[in-house]
Amino acid sequence: MTTDPLAAVAEDAAAALAQAQAAVAAAAVAQSGGTGRFFRAGILFVISAPSGAGKTTLCAALRQSRDFIYSVSCTTRAPRPGEVEGEDYYFLSMEEFRARVAAGEFLEHAEVHGNFYGTLRENVLRHVRAGIDVLIDIDAQGAQTIRASDDPTIRAALADVFIMPPSLDELRRRLSRRGTETPAQIEHRLVNAAVEMRRWHEYRYFILSASVEEDLQKFRSIMRAERYRSRRFREVESC
């Protein structure tokens, strides 16, 4: 029995991985005229948005389709009502988080709203190298770190998307409806949101948030376009 919840990532994702591999293989065969002559490396889809902009809802809708792996992040913050260990986040103590930072296990990590978040490096690399698309939900600091990665596999795989809320007033309404923060915490998040919203141009793609259905359709269009980029394919030599 696995005692480390992070070591159980591969076990927990086994069924989803098999489905994603089958989907990628089928797409590659279809695009090569049924010959299976081409291999496409996995894409690292990075999605960022200010807190309350609907990023979590969008990711939940995207995860209904099993054609990619959702990379579960680690965090030191307390779970919110309804959040599940290993599905929403891996909830770590500060000591555990710092130990993994020291061991170089994170692709990126950052402090956000007084808590720490990080993405496991090996989990992402393993899937991308196998031709499996990965979706990660991180803040602007984390996205910047990934863009500056010294790993050529990560840089080549990256497709980053910023979700822009309609306005700060709308963001305030959404955060208030959520009911998980105090008024002081909401004001703190809005200050950070204003800073993040000025960084939209750093991303390859930009979506002005509307309804969940519209945001989902736009993001899926980006995924489809990225999956047909010629530079992501290489021809497989015949045996």
- Binning the chain into helix, strand and coil, the percentages to the nearest 5 are 50, 20, 30
Nearest alpha-carbon partner for 74 in 91, 88, 59 = 91
To 10 degrees, the CA torsion angle through 119, 121, 123, 124?
80
Averaged pLDDT of the chain: 86
Q: Looking at the 3D structure of the chain, how many domains does it have?
A: 1
Percentage of the chain with pLDDT > 90? Answer: 62
Domain span holding position 68: 5-235
The pLDDT tens digits for 95-145 are 999 999 999 999 999 888 789 999 999 999 999 999 999 999 998 989 999
CB 164 within 8 A of CB 55: no
Which one is predicted more confidently, 181 or 4? 181
CA 165 to chain centre: 18
Give the pLDDT score at 179. Answer: 78
Give the pLDDT score at 10. Answer: 45
CB 175 within 8 A of CB 51: yes
Question: Given pLDDT bands bounded at 50, 70 and 90, which one contains residue 52?
Answer: confident
Asked which of 3-7, 85-89, 195-199 is least confident by mean pLDDT, the reply is 3-7
What is the spatial distance between Cα 126 and Cα 97, in angstroms, rounded to a whole number?
21
CB 219 within 8 A of CB 207: yes
Distance from the first to the final alpha carbon of the chain: 41
Question: Given pLDDT bands bounded at 50, 70 and 90, which one contains residue 178?
Answer: confident
Mean pLDDT, rounded, for 27-56: 78
25 has a pLDDT exceeding 70? no
The pLDDT tens digits for 198-231 are 999 999 999 999 999 999 999 999 999 999 999 9
238 has a pLDDT exceeding 80? no
- What DSSP assignment string belongs to 192-236? HHHHHHTTGGGSSEEEE---HHHHHHHHHHHHHHHHT-GGGEEEP
What is the spatial distance between Cα 218 and Cα 231, in angstroms, rounded to a whole number?
22
Residue for token digits 């021809």? 235
Q: Is residue 115 within a helix (H) or strand (E), and if so which, with residue range?
A: strand 115-120
Percentage of the chain with pLDDT > 70? Answer: 84
CATH of the domain at 158: 3.40.50.300
**What single-letter amino acid sits at 106?**
F
C-alpha distances (whole Å) from 200 to each of 20, 37, 143, 175 are 30, 38, 11, 20
